Structure 1
Amino acid sequence: MSAPRTIALLIFQLSALTLFGPVAIRSDEGLNLEDDNLPEIAIIGGGIGGTTTAYYLRKLFGNKASIDLFEAKQIGGRVSTVVVNGREYESGASIIHPRNQYMVNFTKLFGLRKREGHSEKLAIYDGKKFVFTGSKFNIATMAKMFWRYGMDVYNINSWVENILDKFERVYHHLEDGIAFSTVEGLLESMDASFVDLTKKTIREVLKEDGFSDLFIDELVTAGMRVNYAQGAEVHGFVGSVSLAGALPGLFSVHGGNRLVPERVLQASQVNYLPAEVTKVSLVRDHNNNVRYDLSFQHSDLPHGAEPMSVTKQYDVVVIAAPLHKRVSDIAFSGFPKPIRYAQEEFHRTVANFALGSANISHFGNYGMGDFPTAILCNNLDLFFNSFAQNTPVDFSSERDSMESEKGSVWKVFSSTPLSEEELSQLYEVHSKTSVVDWLAYPEYTPTETLPSFVLYDQLYYVNAIEMAASAMEMSAIGGRNIAQLAFNHWHGLFDKIDEIKDAPSHETPTSDKDEKKTEL
């Protein structure tokens, strides 16, 4: 069980939305979608965004389109697992909400089942003491929250529901074949106020709406730290996503969430190349049409083999990996002007897994049975963000217990690697340590500008959406949007780009009868 799942005991949750159905591929203006004028497409990156893009490009362009997907490491990207004591644990994106419709529908489509959970006891730690301690019983935890935070615990639900009522509109637009060329346009399609949320902090947004400092300093800040390793100074939109992602009902996939992008890629029936793309070069064909040369090196070479650069040409290129010098180092050449994209700083996150027992005495006078199983920190100066018991991706309550004679597996989130002295403050004893150190998401400060999904003609950037918020569902939305955008551009459906004629009604949920008609 992960600390992000634990914050489900706090308050809220990112829901979204009526079930998303099949893309309606229409013959607009006499368009013949069965013709042979199909693009050769390259996708760089095999995470949620890249595999979702591949899936919907295949749905839109059909089986005859040539689609290559490049991924130098593992499929899933930041959705990955780590092995501790012979069992796998989620090391990256760890939770899905039952109303995150892209992710949920993929799990249903591929027959993936939910992983079992277990009862947890949540606490918020300020570096000296637990300012809030919950219970293994949800009702008791909520009663304690009302006692400490008053009506803010109740009011945040209405606040989040208002956000979600607006957020869900993007699903209707995408289902109608509308695509967005900029992140700002995509947010505006939900509600114009969402762009304003990116220009101020979540602290400012909540204060304006009447929430108390105590609520923000403890519950909200603890949530931001466990989800984004940052505080209440993140911008308001990503803060809203974080707040909306924490109500009961969160789940993970049995066997690991990485199974979702793996199965999505298989269903896409694209050509998967285990290779690293090093350069994207703009070229022109004999008719002066834009094309791209991709230079890449295979990453699955036999031991000792010399890497050799290969070049292949494409009509459409989709970059589905962060364009950050410490994440992906892709060079661009042949363009009339330098390719410009968001030069955001990415936040370093370290996940430290160890088999052992918590150092209860470090946190106060507690008995083993009273000690929290998930500790979230609201003090930005502490060396760790969260400390929680975890269950393996194949956890079964009938077979597994949380404690063994060797202890249990705990995961610590921090912003830098932990020293032995710091580990000793958290663990009484520990062994079987495994560390995952990666750049997980952008630094989310208020911004006056949001990036474009279009880097150049027929050159797209899925991860632009991360400047709004980084989450599995957001990446899936980004991939779905890019697939529709590339399709609309290729077929000249410009009236379906950034043009919202009539806002669809979103007040009536999809009926059971309607749900039976909708599939991925």
Structure 2
Amino acid sequence: MDVQHILLVILSLRLGLLDLQASAVKQEEKESMPSGPRIAIIGSGIGGSSCAYYLHKLLPNAQLSIFEANDRIGGRIMSVNIEGVIVEVGAAAWASANQYIMELAKEMNLSIFDAKPKLPRTDRLDLLLNQQSALSIGVWDGYALHDIEKLVIDNLKSTAITVAEIAEFLLKLKLNYFQREDEGPFRNITEYLAYGKLTEYTSKSTLQYLSEHNVELELLKYFIEPLMIHIYDQELDMHSFAAFASLTSLLTSAHSVTSGNSKLPKALVNASKAEVHLNSKVHTITNDNTEYTIAFTHDGKNESITTVDAVVIAAPLEWTGITFKNIQPDPSSSQPHRDWVFWYVHFVVAKSINNTYFHQPDQWSAPDNIFTTANVSLPWASIQLYQPLPNSNIYKLFCTQNLTTHMDEYFIGVRSVYTHHWVYTFPRLIPITDPEDFQDIQLHDGLFNINTIESIASAMEVPVINARNVAQLIADAVNRDYGYDTYQNDC
């Protein structure tokens, strides 16, 4: 090694040491700050729990309080045990393209597994061409079960176009992450969508976008739309961002926490060192110049108040029922209102799917997934084989009605039924062309709204994106108050 190389190595080592020393000094400065800001987080789902975690990383001395109206942490993530199997009643999995969720699971030391069959990258197109062996999907139109394998092969060109468009969407998502890391926190959803040029996807319906790219209507109606109904209970009028966010699972791995996805928000809350108030419903937020007074009930009766410096609402504004005082304009009336979808989720332990319901012979081998078309009025949207058991199976159903007492119509040998009613699951994801149709991220000085970002998609990663962003906005404001540099990406 010549002298020049030796000098470069020494310089690199010194620079690395200086970076480590600077990082250590920065952390010591944060920890030596006076008692940090008091921050209330309303909601303990993946948005609220991850925001608490990021805030603790950015502001170690912050006094964090989480207010959760229910008796558990997790929001729309809920894992339960059925017949010794951990099943996901809420958010079931995330794609490997979801950078922040992947990072959080790793930082929490949670074991994850691939939640779908793993295929070599060269076989991704085969995933769409060989439904029987890879996905085993049937689509029911109320009269007949459609052969998806034949449909895909008959529409080979449209299938290839769809795959190419999914790949392009994934590249733009990756660019969005990269550009935001350089630029710092975003102030509104339009600004977020500008990174990676994602605005086109939220401004066009799935039908419009894919039709413009010459995808045949038959593939749209009998494959893409049934998949949208299964995931969102929404049809081709849903904007294409949400559609592509769902379709990414066709080209990437899907992951879940081995011990149940509920472990993730719980681990994040524990790591945040936040004070947690379960069964505590916030009903009033009052602005008192530089502070906020939070009024809440505990167990539906005991009235309490607390004073904080900032508030993060990590639940849909439409469902919080919060009264805002001394805050103009009033968020409860000034922010765009979104309509929401609800689900009944059933887990059924049964011997098999009832072949007679689907007009099939006795020896019929049912597909693993049965979706429905938009032109049929059924109380269920999909039936999935969730987990085979020694002498029976666990099936999962997404329904628009409570079908607990009707399972003998759909299954043979029903042993048990577990039912959960989600009062709200997803907002109606209609195309948005006017930036004013997105809710604000910052509702008032020190008052933030994480859930506005769910207008682009309902997936575990999406609220985490804005939770991380809001934590950075708050940390920037605190750092300015203490004379520190803003936007130091320590998340």
- What TM-score do the two structures reach when normalised by structure 1? 0.78
Q: Is the 8 A contact 2:97 2:252 kept in 1?
A: no
Alpha-carbon distance change, 115 to 27 in structure 1, aligned in 2, over 3 angstroms = closer
Q: Is the 8 A contact 2:105 2:264 kept in 1?
A: yes
Secondary structure in structure 2 of the residue aligned to 1:355: strand
Mapped to 1, the partners of 2:200 and 2:183 lie a distance apart of 26
Q: What percentage of aligned pairs have identical amino acids? A: 25
Q: Is the 8 A contact 2:38 2:64 kept in 1?
A: yes
Q: Is the 8 A contact 1:127 1:379 kept in 2?
A: no
Please give the residue correspondences for 1:361-400 in structure 2 after superposition, counting only pairs within 5 Å.
361-366=356-361, 368=363, 370-380=365-375, 381-391=377-387
**Does residue 114 of the first structure (1) align with residue 98 of the second (2)?**
no
Mapped to 2, the partners of 1:413 and 1:107 lie a distance apart of 27
Unaligned runs of 5+ in 2: 1-19, 118-134
How many angstroms does 1:496 deviate by?
Answer: 7.0
Secondary structure in structure 1 of the residue aligned to 2:96: coil
Secondary structure in structure 2 of the residue aligned to 1:370: coil
Mapped to 1, the partners of 2:195 and 2:183 lie a distance apart of 13
> Which of the numbers 306, 312, 315 marks the counterpart of 2:309?
315
Secondary structure in structure 2 of the residue aligned to 1:56: helix
Q: Is the 8 A contact 1:177 1:496 kept in 2?
A: no
- TM-superposition CA deviations, 1:205-240 (whole Å, max 9, x none): 111111110111111101111110111110122222
Residue 412 of structure 1: aligned partner:
397
> Which of the numbers 65, 68, 90 marks the counterpart of 1:68?
65
- TM-superposition CA deviations, 1:264-302 (whole Å, max 9, x none): 111122222222212111112xxxxx2100112224xxx
Residue 329 of structure 2: aligned partner:
337
Residue 97 of structure 1: aligned partner:
95
> Which of the numbers 123, 146, 155 marks the counterpart of 1:149?
155
Residue identity matched to 1:295: A
How many angstroms does 1:36 deviate by?
Answer: 2.7
How many angstroms does 1:116 deviate by?
Answer: 6.8
> Which of the numbers 207, 213, 216 marks the counterpart of 1:212?
216
How many angstroms does 1:26 deviate by?
Answer: 12
Q: Is the 8 A contact 1:174 1:481 kept in 2?
A: no
- TM-superposition CA deviations, 1:235-264 (whole Å, max 9, x none): 122222122233352132112111111111
Please give the residue correspondences for 1:141-180 in structure 2 after superposition, counting only pairs within 5 Å.
144=150, 146-176=152-182, 178-180=184-186
Q: Is the 8 A contact 1:85 1:432 kept in 2?
A: no
Mapped to 2, the partners of 1:312 and 1:177 lie a distance apart of 35
**Does residue 430 of the first structure (1) align with residue 428 of the second (2)?**
no
Residue identity matched to 2:68: E
> Which of the numbers 353, 378, 384 marks the counterpart of 1:358?
353
Mapped to 2, the partners of 1:382 and 1:185 lie a distance apart of 40
> Which of the numbers 266, 272, 276 marks the counterpart of 2:281?
276
Mapped to 2, the partners of 1:244 and 1:102 lie a distance apart of 16
Residue 127 of structure 2: aligned partner:
none
Residue identity matched to 1:130: L
Alpha-carbon distance change, 170 to 269 in structure 1, aligned in 2, over 3 angstroms = farther
How many angstroms does 1:322 deviate by?
Answer: 1.0
Mapped to 1, the partners of 2:108 and 2:328 lie a distance apart of 44
Q: Is the 8 A contact 1:384 1:415 kept in 2?
A: yes
Residue 456 of structure 1: aligned partner:
444
Residue identity matched to 1:104: M
> Which of the numbers 183, 191, 204 marks the counterpart of 2:189?
183
- TM-superposition CA deviations, 1:66-88 (whole Å, max 9, x none): 11111122211101024434644
Q: Is the 8 A contact 2:335 2:440 kept in 1?
A: yes
Alpha-carbon distance change, 113 to 80 in structure 1, aligned in 2, over 3 angstroms = same
Secondary structure in structure 2 of the residue aligned to 1:245: helix
Mapped to 2, the partners of 1:248 and 1:482 lie a distance apart of 28
Alpha-carbon distance change, 270 to 211 in structure 1, aligned in 2, over 3 angstroms = same
Residue 124 of structure 2: aligned partner:
none
Residue identity matched to 2:292: Y
Residue 51 of structure 1: aligned partner:
49
Residue identity matched to 1:258: S
Residue 121 of structure 2: aligned partner:
none
Q: Is the 8 A contact 2:479 2:486 kept in 1?
A: no
**Does residue 471 of the first structure (1) align with residue 490 of the second (2)?**
no
Residue identity matched to 2:265: P
Alpha-carbon distance change, 368 to 90 in structure 1, aligned in 2, over 3 angstroms = farther
Residue identity matched to 2:191: G
Alpha-carbon distance change, 461 to 253 in structure 1, aligned in 2, over 3 angstroms = same
Residue identity matched to 1:283: D
Number of residue pairs matched by the alignment: 438
Residue identity matched to 1:251: H
- What TM-score do the two structures reach when normalised by structure 2? 0.82
The one of the two structures with greater contact order (alpha-carbon pairs below 8 A, sep at least 6) is 1
Residue 444 of structure 1: aligned partner:
429
Residue identity matched to 2:384: A
How many angstroms does 1:310 deviate by?
Answer: 0.9
Residue 132 of structure 2: aligned partner:
none
**Does residue 241 of the first structure (1) align with residue 245 of the second (2)?**
yes
Q: Is the 8 A contact 1:321 1:462 kept in 2?
A: yes
Residue identity matched to 1:361: T
Secondary structure in structure 2 of the residue aligned to 1:361: coil
How many angstroms does 1:128 deviate by?
Answer: 1.6
Alpha-carbon distance change, 320 to 414 in structure 1, aligned in 2, over 3 angstroms = same
Q: Is the 8 A contact 2:54 2:471 kept in 1?
A: yes
Secondary structure in structure 1 of the residue aligned to 2:210: helix
Residue identity matched to 2:383: F
Secondary structure in structure 1 of the residue aligned to 2:265: helix
- TM-superposition CA deviations, 1:35-76 (whole Å, max 9, x none): 437321111110110111111111111x21211111122211
Mapped to 2, the partners of 1:369 and 1:111 lie a distance apart of 43
Q: Is the 8 A contact 1:41 1:316 kept in 2?
A: yes
**Does residue 348 of the first structure (1) align with residue 332 of the second (2)?**
no
Residue identity matched to 1:348: F
**Does residue 222 of the first structure (1) align with residue 197 of the second (2)?**
no
Mapped to 2, the partners of 1:27 and 1:195 lie a distance apart of 40
Alpha-carbon distance change, 350 to 168 in structure 1, aligned in 2, over 3 angstroms = same
Q: Is the 8 A contact 2:35 2:62 kept in 1?
A: no
How many angstroms does 1:118 deviate by?
Answer: 7.5
Mapped to 1, the partners of 2:339 and 2:190 lie a distance apart of 19
Residue 12 of structure 1: aligned partner:
none
Alpha-carbon distance change, 36 to 345 in structure 1, aligned in 2, over 3 angstroms = same
Q: Is the 8 A contact 2:140 2:371 kept in 1?
A: yes
How many angstroms does 1:366 deviate by?
Answer: 4.2
